[in-house]
Structure formats: C-alpha cells, structure tokens
Structure 1
Amino acid sequence: MIAEVEADRPDLRMNDGACDRAGRFWAGTMALDERPCAGALYRLDGGGRVETMVRAVTISNGIDWTLDDRRMYYIDSPTQSVDIFDFDVASGAITNRRPFVWIPPADGVPDGLTVDADGGVWVSLWNGSAVHRYSPDGTLDRVVRLPVTHPTSCAFGGAELRDLYITTASIALDARERERQPHAGGLFRCRPGPAGRAPYRFRG
C-alpha cells in the first residue's frame, strides 16, 4: 500500500484521479450516499505524503491540466461546472479557482474529462448521452452523441492516440431503460478528429 486516505471513514469512497506533470497523483472522494460536501480532493506526492487540496467536495470527478501545465481543470459534479485553478507544477499548489464552463442541467451532469493535444477539454455528461469538447477559451465546438444515458469518463488511446474511449454506466437504469439501452455499461470508441496526449505517470 502506498498511502491511505480517510481509512476511518467507511461511508466514503475514492472516485476519479489523474497524475500531474511532476508525477503527483490527484484523486478525490465522495460519500456513498452522495451527501453534499462530504468528500475532498487529495494530492499524493511521490514520497507517499498525502495533502488535502480541496475540501467540501460532493462528487469529485474529472481532473486534467492545460498543455502548458499552468492551470488545472476539476469537476465537482453537482456544481454543474468545470472549474479551473492556477497550477504551480513545481510545488503542486492550486489557487484562484473559478468556472471554466457551466453545463446546463438539460445537457447532463459533468463527470470525467480529458484534455487533447490541441488543448481541447472533453467532458463526459452523465444523464446527457454525450461527450462535449470545449476549446481552451470555453467554447463548445464538438459533441459526440451516444446511444446510452450515462457516459462516465473518456480517455485517448490507440494508434497515435487518435481513438477516444468512453466509459458508460448502467447503474440507476430501471428494467425498461436497460432494454432500451442494451449497451449501457459498455466501453465505446470513436475517432473524433483531434488526437490525445500521453498521460503523465506516477513517480513514486
């Protein structure tokens, strides 16, 4: 075991995570019953030290960085917002949190995200049957539609990182909805145009 987080809190679980350029691992928690503000965002350094970076999180989700590593994207799903922080790659500090894009509830709930090689931000939309791509200035410029309700996250892979892989869930679907969505819970792949970039690895 590398490290423990909230080992005395069986009512919480880990959720999404990602590594920054310096090899630190970031991951957040959420309550099993999804009650508000019970979770947090943590940073695990290569030496095994864990630091709390954001408190009062409800459903910690997508994390990634801009191409210049000067800003960090972060999603706490019930806020309906993809937020952005100023990021110091040397120290791992985050400051100046503000909205990057706000997702209308009718479009779904922001879940996992990834950043492509052009700086575009791909956001999976739970209950939205889609993945949205936002340009670095926050403009919605591409939509990938899916035949299932609950996309959960996305990542690039395959030859030259040209394939976008999209995970989905079948949880919360009743029997009738499962019949209508036989591929719910499956892994989807598409070639949306922009290529991805190789993820950073943990240095620990």
Structure 2
Amino acid sequence: MQHLSAVPCGPVPGRLTEGPVWDQRSQELLWVDITAGLFHRGSLGTRGDGTGLPDVVRRTTLALDSTVGAVHPCRSGATIAAVGTSIQMLSLTDGRAEEVATAPLPADGIRRRFNDAGCDPRGRLLVGTMATDVVPGAGALYLLEPQGLRVLMESVTVSNGLAWSPCGQLLYYADSATGRVDVFDYDLATATPSRRRPFVEVSGGVPDGLTVDRDGSLWVAIWGAGQVRAYASDGTAHTQVSVPASQVSSVTFAGPRLDILIITTAAEGLTRDERRAQPDAGRLFVCRPGSTGLPAVPFDDLTRQEIP
C-alpha cells in the first residue's frame, strides 16, 4: 500500500467545496461550493514551500441564485451547471444563464437539489439528485437528452461520484448512503447502465466523489475519513492519500500531464471544536500520486444526441 499526504492550496476555504473538473483545453480547474452557490475557475500556479507541488490560483467566481451541485465544460466553450433542480448553460463572458432542463420531481413535498454530475465518453451528461435533508431513496440519477431529463435510476439517497473506465464500458457510481461504490456495464450506444454490482465496500467513512486514472484505477474521496483511496480495477486498494480535513468530498486529476491530484473538502457541518482542529477544512488540496488521469470529456452541446 502506498501512503501519501496532500497539502492545502491557496484559495480560501469554502463551505461545501465539491466537483473539481480539469478543463484540458483552457488549462483551468472548475469547482463549486454547493451550498454557497458559487462556481469557481482557477489555474495552477507555483508555491514556495519546497514541496515541488503546484498551487491552485482562483481566477474568477460566479455567484448563482441557488445551490450548484456540479459544473462541466462544454464543447462550445460554455459551461453546463446543475443549479438547484435545473440544468443551466452558463456564459463566461457575461455571466448569463439559460435553463435547458428541469428535474421531473415527484409532487411529494420533499425538497431536492442536484448533486454530482459527469459526462460519459460521448459527451452526454449524467446528473443525480438528493433530498436536501437526505430523505432515504428520494433521489435519482438522470441522463440529459434533447427533450429533457430521463430517469436512469430511482430510489437513490445521495447521488455522488460518476466515472467511466478507460474503455468506456464500465460506469462507477456512488450512492454514498450505501457505503460502497458500485459498477455497471455501460452501453455507449444507448447511454444505459446495467448489471449493477458492488465494486468496493468502504469502511471508516463513506464514498463521495471519484475519478478513474489511465490504468483503470478508481480514486475515491472518503467523506469522514480524511482520505482519498485508490483501488485497482479488481477492487484491490493500493494507495491512500491522507488529507488534514475529515470531510473529503471529491477528487480529480489536473495539469498539462494530468498527473496532479486535486482534492476538495468541506467545512459545513463541523462543530466549533472540529473546525479548530481542522483549520484547512473547506480548502482544495494537492498531491502528486505517480499516476495520470483521463481527460474530462466536454459536454457535447454542439450536436443534439438522440438516443435510440
């Protein structure tokens, strides 16, 4: 087992920092602060602490009018965002937002919001919901189609990490309340997940955001454990990254060579004593793990993809 440590980055701590995505074309990092309704963009800079690691330099911040669960770069250069219970296209030039879809929610009085999202190898967006007070089974996983959002999976509690294997034929998914990461067969032609089965059971915390590297290993943020754990494609754990903040929320690979691990954390929900013990909670963290990631596939907003 390889044991590594992550170090904090420059941007000030957020409340519920989440959803890091590296835009390979612009060489920028995108991330959100969910409950603060903030969408940040930044770049990699230098640091003077002798670690040889880069820092993250925040460049712009866009304040939205609701929670923002996830953002993702688009082929057109815009950004698609899961805001509240709507999917919006954001213009970076003037900050305007255009709603393209809303979640088809049941009329049961339960308040919901979008949480994590990801694009499959063909640039189609999958996005999940959860109840704001974490009602069991109140969430779902959706696929964004030209005519709106289609339900792929119901009875989800906390829809979280989404990532595909290098071949694109496996989908990894975490409903955090289950305490495990599941894996599906994924039909690229129809964007259909099937044959769900457990990939790895998580102890000492719960699985949150995740990403896959070029070798097919899965890197999982473990909320409550202050760790990122990496698992080979057979489920064997091989790397553990220690983070000096217990609520580790997500992880991605960044940089020109995709060899920098960017880790997000949260301060929301910590007690006063826990905040004193974890002064960097809510910050971004960085580590060089000796692995390289896969480039994020931009959302394909230039062609209207009809699913057979």
TM-score of Structure 1 vs Structure 2, range by shorter chain? over 0.9
Percent identity, please. Answer: 43
Measured in 1, the distance between the counterparts of 2:112 and 2:207 equals 20
> In structure 2, what is the Cα distance between the partners aligned to 1:95 and 1:32?
28
Opposite residue 99 of structure 1, the aligned amino acid is: P
- Is the 1:13–1:32 Cα contact (8 Å) retained in structure 2? yes
Q: Relative contact order (alpha carbons < 8 A, sep ≥ 6): 1 or 2 greater?
A: 2
Q: Which residue number in structure 2 is paired with residue 135 of structure 1?
A: 232
Counterpart CA distance in 1 for 2:279 and 2:147 is: 42
Give the alignment's TM-score, normalised by structure 1. 0.95
Give the alignment's TM-score, normalised by structure 2. 0.64
1:60 matched residue in structure 2 = 159
Q: Residue 192 in 1 paired to residue 289 in 2?
A: yes
**Over alpha carbons, which structure has the higher Rg?**
2
Is structure 2 residue 271 aligned with structure 1 residue 174? yes
SS of the residue corresponding to residue 64 of structure 1 reads strand
Residue 10 of structure 1 and its aligned partner are, at CA, apart by: 6.6
CA RMSD of aligned residues (A): 1.2
| Structure 1 counterpart of 2:184 | 85
- 1:3 maps to 101
Equivalent residue for 1:147? 244
For 2:113, give the aligned amino acid. R
Give the one of 125, 128, 151 matched to 1:28. 128
Task: Output the CA distance in 2 between the equivalents of 1:49 and 1:11.
Answer: 20
Change beyond 3 A, Cα 1:19–1:112? same
Equivalent of 1:42 in 142, 156, 160: 142
CA distance in 2, matches of 1:173, 1:94: 36
8 Å CA contact retained: 2:110, 2:131: no
Gaps of 5+ in 2: 1-98, 302-308
In 2, the alpha carbon distance for the partners of 1:48 and 1:108 equals: 38
Q: Is the CA contact 1:2–1:48 (under 8 Å) kept in the aligned structure 2?
A: no
Aligned to 1:102: 201
Looking at secondary structure, tell me which structure has more helix per residue: 1
Question: Between Structure 1 and Structure 2, how many residues are aligned?
Answer: 201
Unmatched runs of 5 consecutive residues or more in structure 1:
none
Asked if structure 2 preserves the Cα contact closer than 8 Å seen for 1:152 and 1:168, the reply is yes
| Aligned mate of 1:125, from 222, 243, 254 | 222
TM-aligned CA deviation for residue 112 of structure 1: 0.4
